[in-house]
Amino acid sequence: MKPEIKILIADDHPIFRAGLRQVIERDTLIKVVAEADNGQAALDCLPGSGASIALLDVDMPLLDGFQVTQAIREKRLPVQVIILTMHKDERFLNAALDLGVKGYLVKDSAATEVINCIRAVNEGGEFVSPQLTSLLLKRSRGAASLLEQKPGLESLSPTERRVLQLVGQYKTSKEIAELLCLSVRTIEFHRAKICEKLELKGAHALVKFAVEHQSKL
Q: Tell me the domains of the chain and their CATH numbers.
A: 5-132 (3.40.50.2300), 142-216 (1.10.10.10)
Q: Which residues contact 13 (CB under 8 A, 6 or more apart)?
A: none
Higher local confidence (pLDDT), 150 or 164: 164
| DSSP letter, residue 213 | T
Burial class (CB in 10 A: 0-12, 13-18, 19+), 56: buried
- Phi then psi dihedrals of residue 213, to 5 deg: -115, 20
pLDDT, position 20: 93
Residues 158-181, buried b or exposed e (16+ Cβ, 10 A)?
eebebbbbbbbeebebeebbebee
Q: Which residues contact 134 (CB under 8 A, 6 or more apart)?
A: none
Check pLDDT > 80 for residue 153: no
pLDDT, position 155: 79
**pLDDT (tens digit, 9 = 90+) per residue, 26-79?**
999 999 999 999 999 999 999 999 999 999 999 899 999 999 998 998 888 999
The percent of the chain in helix, strand and coil, each rounded to the nearest 5, is 55, 15, 30
Check pLDDT > 60 for residue 144: no
Phi-psi label, residue 181: left if phi above 0, alpha if psi -120 to 50, beta otherwise: left
Measured CA to CA in angstroms, residue 9 lies from 13, 187, 202 at distances of 11, 35, 45
- Phi then psi dihedrals of residue 28, to 5 deg: -65, -15
Check pLDDT > 80 for residue 211: yes
CB atoms within 10 A of CB 206: 20
